[in-house]
Structure 1
Amino acid sequence: MIKKLTNVTLNHNTIEIDGIDSLVSVEGRWLEAALLFDERYILLFLIEDYPFEGEDELFIYLIDTQQNCTVDQAKISRMCRSGIFSDLIIHSKNTISFEFMVEGGWTLELFKTPKKEIRHLFSGTLSLVVKRPFSLSRYFNVIQNVQ
């Protein structure tokens, strides 16, 4: 189950929960949304804007509150493109959608247990919009909705 949180804040690149430093560092200047998943994970959406370059980046982090660390992350950006994070909708117990940078927006599916991820090992290029660090497993998948 996914629930919106109001007790999560950003203090210089560190996440605070109920005013207590989580010691989890993140990129991004503005915390746009925080969601609780499966009573264990916190899903964060943060924006970094570069006003003189006309470019925005959306950072997505999944934090495990039991291990107090980031278990998965993604970044959505495109050179010389700005975007506004909006229309966050919870669709089911593990799926949300949101708007950022592209028409049609995005769908993000959270997994109760990590899934093996080897597609990026065989593809010639990674997405020009979604960037993710190397990992053999994923806790969520984010895809662009087709219009």
Structure 2
Amino acid sequence: MSENHLIHMSEDKSDLGKVEISPEVIEIIAGIAASELDGVAMLRGNFASGVAERLGRKSSHGKGVKVDLGDDGVNIEVFLITNYGVSIPDVCHKVQENIVQTLKNMTAINVLSVDVHVVGVHFEDKNESEAPKKEQGI
């Protein structure tokens, strides 16, 4: 693994230069890929990532995603909250597939594993469920 913690893309035969991808970019891509699926309420970071986000040092798109660089590829951990009433195994499987497919399409990086940690369930607020009834005159 390199000292500057950048992922070096495979060298092609062109002499245009080299491509390096920062782990933060992978976190953002994986975070967006996970949060765009139905059944995922939100991604959940830890205390340190929340402080870094408030200080403007980290984007909120990468919150809840941890990337470990290896010699063979990357290992990704995702911490998320699901919506109430969805099949958690199905949502987690879709998250894994979407992250791997998105990273393969955008970066051609070898993803070794995507570990999904469900850390909570989001229940619908009482006000959200009553709002449509009030508008309909019920």
- Please give the TM-score of this superposition, normalised by the length of structure 2: 0.26
TM-score by length of 1: 0.25
The higher relative CO (CA closer than 8 Å, separation ≥ 6) is in 2
More helix by share: 2
